[in-house]
A and B are shown apart, each in its own frame.
Chain A
Amino acid sequence: MPEALLSARGVSVRFGGLTAVNGVNLDVHTGELVGIIGPNGAGKTTFFHTLSGVLRPTEGRLIVAGDDLTGRAPHVYAAHGVARTFQTPRVFRDMTAADNVRFALEFAGRLRKHGHDAFDDVATILGFLGLAEVAMLPAGALTPARQRLLEIGVALGARPRVLLLDEVAAGLTHTEIDATAQLIRRVRDELGVAVIWIEHAVRVLMNTVERVAVLHQGAKIADGDPRAVAKEAAVIEAYLGEEGDSARVAA
């Protein structure tokens, strides 16, 4: 196995007495498409915050492309090729959609010149996401669904090696969710980047990813092939059981 592109080693996050993330280990390699699922409050987003440098873990280390970035500022993670989206789109509302993508290209994107040039200009990225016709509109004026797409576009502008997607399909219709899942696969295939995807819409995620990690009460309780993971007793009890119908999820 080659060295992991992104490696979380024993990452814990505690807020006062509450342990949000508890000793999670996760290695992600180039080209992998990994899903992270877990019930509400399982610590998925908090874990993402540590992976992107937004939150410093209480314990544990984060290694990106061989460099230990634990405790470094988010822009250092960006310079190492970690790009992310936020659950609630955090686009620059006063800037146009085009300027949002340009911003990412101008900073994180410029720091990272590498071989993949499939998405290295504003028009290509917006076109790929179907946002070409709203390029000159202020991002704050876009519909929530389009802001979510723009979040992905901004992350692509950062020219990532690891793309972290936090519930990019939340609030979308079934058709839109399927389209987003296809889009994520295409990004992975065309850029060859690693993608880590958190999603509440478990069905689509399970069908799209090749590997899934399950977080429960801050700890990782399963990690592997989605079909195998869906059958694990601990997972069914902790997560799928809670949703009631495991057959629907595994379908």
Chain B
Amino acid sequence: MSRSTLTRMRGVPRALTLTVVAGALLAVLPWLLSDFMLSLALSCLMFAALAVSWSMFCGPTHYLSLATSAFFGLGAYVTAWGLESMPYGLTVLAGGLVGAAFAALIGVAVLHLRGAYFAVITFGLTELVLHSITYVEKTMFETAGRIISDAPENAVIYWTVLGITVLAVATAILVRASRLGFALAGIGGDEERAQTLGVNARRAKVLAFSLSAFFPGALGAAMAVRWTYIEPMSVFNPFIGFQTVLIAMVGGAQTLLGPIVSSVFFSLLTEFLRLRFPYAFLLVLGILLVVLVLYLPGGLASLFVRRARPHA
């Protein structure tokens, strides 16, 4: 192991241990919480995993992907199609793999685009997938939606989502410390410079984008059973993608903890606002976003990161 590898691996065992311990502690919640509180916890976990996996790629590279809904929806459809012939756990794994494979495919095609172009095309691709699935369902299966029967218990869904979240956080920790993470940071800083220094930028980006899409795919597959009726318009809901970006950016996509804290904050806030102001809650969320982006572009995490770097 080279010296630079050792420097980068510093703190990784501790972070991984903390992640696993936190996961183990959260695993007891189904025995402690009411159904309502458990579904709130589930929502926190889901958005934490979505935001962490989004930040895995988009944080260091400064890409703005709106494709999260596409991966999530594809995962949900894997469950909708596969749950009759496969155990639940396997559909979750398959959903993740389908998400990753789809991301690799579109990554090869569109990752050379930057900024608004990339954001728009990933949003467009989500719509394309939505309508493709609608078309396939209508022409081949003559159905508009699917009913999910024999869904697993809420606790099983919770533990599955918790497992995905722990895996997403652990992966994010390892990616940050790895050569891939270093390459992504260089690509985010100056992609062409990184290339002239030996980084195969295209390969690194496709790999990381695909890896980061495993989690929304798996989450879509895991969460699909929460709805008894699945239709493209609901599982490819662009709101999931926007909410993910919002949470990650508000939390600070450059950091690991920022998106996690912010997802809990936002899930609770959304729920609170939805209950208190059923009509105005999106309005309040929107205003909050504007304020945060204007006055805290580095995210909430930037409040806690020391501005001054250690001097030699």
User: Do B182 and A136 touch across chains, with their CB atoms under 8 A apart?
Assistant: no
Segment with Cβ contacts to A, from B73-81, B187-195, B230-238, B286-294: B187-195
B202 with A103: CB separation less than 8 A: no
Task: Determine whether B3 belongs to the interface, using a CB cutoff of 8 Å to chain A.
Answer: yes
**Is B309 in contact with A136, judged by CB distance below 8 angstroms?**
yes
What chain B residues lie within 8 Å of A78 (beta carbons)?
Answer: 195-198
A-chain residues with CB within 8 Å of residue B83 when the two chains form the complex: none
Is A134 located at the chain interface by the 8 A CB criterion?
yes
A157–B186 Cα gap in the complex (Å)?
15
Bound CA span A108–B194, Å: 9
A-B contact count (CB 8 A): 88
Q: How far does the Cβ of A100 sit from chain B's closest Cβ, in whole Å?
A: 9
User: Per a CB cutoff under 8 Å, which of B182, B193, B199, B309 touches A90?
Assistant: B193
Determine whether B222 belongs to the interface, using a CB cutoff of 8 Å to chain A: no
The reply to whether A92 and B196 form a contact with Cβ atoms under 8 Å apart is no
Q: How far is the CA of A108 from the CA of B310 in the complex (A)?
A: 28
Interface size class of B (residues with CB under 8 A): 20 to 34
Chain B residues with CB under 8 Å of A118's CB are none
Asked if A158 meets B197 with Cβ closer than 8 Å, knowing A54-B192, A106-B179, the reply is yes
Q: Let me know if B17 is at the binding interface, CB within 8 A.
A: no
Q: Are the CB atoms of A137 and B309 closer together than 8 Å?
A: yes
Residue in B4, B199, B312 whose beta carbon sits within 8 Å of that of A102 in the complex: B4
Inter-chain CA distance A52–B193, complex, in Å, is 11
Across the interface, name the chain B residue whose C-beta is closest to A108. Answer: B198
Interface residues of B in 110-144 (CB under 8 A from A): none
Given A73-B200, A92-B185, A136-B310, A106 contacting B4 (CB threshold 8 A): yes
Bound Cα distance from A37 to B111, whole angstroms:
38
Q: Tell me the bound Cα distance from A158 to B202 in angstroms.
A: 19
Contact partner of A107 (CB less than 8 A), chosen from B197, B310, B311, B312, is B197
In Å, the complex CA distance between A133 and B312 comes to 6
The answer to whether B197 and A137 have CB atoms under 8 Å apart is no
Cβ contacts under 8 Å, B193 to chain A: 86, 90-92
B260 → chain A closest CB, angstroms:
22
Chain A 76-89 interface mask (CB, 8 Å, partner B; 1/0): 01110001101000
Bound: A90/B309 CA distance, A: 20
Query: Which residues of chain A come closer than 8 Å to B185, judged between CB atoms?
Result: 92, 94-95
- Set of chain B residues within 8 Å of A104, measured between Cβ atoms: 197-198
Q: Which of B163-187 contact A (CB under 8 A)?
A: 179, 182-183, 185-186
Given contacts A74-B195, A107-B198, A158-B198, contact A90 B312 (CB under 8 A): no
- Contact flag A109-B189 (CB < 8 Å), given A103-B182, A135-B312, A136-B312: no
Q: Is the CB of B309 within 8 A of A75?
A: no
Would you give the shortest CB distance from A94 to chain B, in whole angstroms? 6
The 10 closest A-B pairs by CB, nearest first: A108-B198, A107-B198, A92-B189, A78-B198, A74-B195, A136-B312, A90-B193, A74-B196, A104-B197, A75-B200
19 contacts between A and B (CB under 8 A): A54-B192, A54-B195, A75-B196, A75-B197, A75-B198, A75-B199, A78-B195, A78-B196, A78-B198, A83-B196, A90-B190, A90-B193, A102-B4, A103-B186, A104-B197, A106-B179, A107-B183, A107-B186, A107-B194
Known interface pairs A103-B197, A122-B4; 17 further A-B residue pairs with C-beta atoms within 8 A, sorted by A's residue number: A74-B192, A74-B196, A75-B198, A83-B197, A94-B189, A95-B186, A95-B189, A96-B309, A103-B194, A104-B198, A107-B183, A107-B194, A107-B197, A135-B312, A136-B312, A138-B309, A158-B198
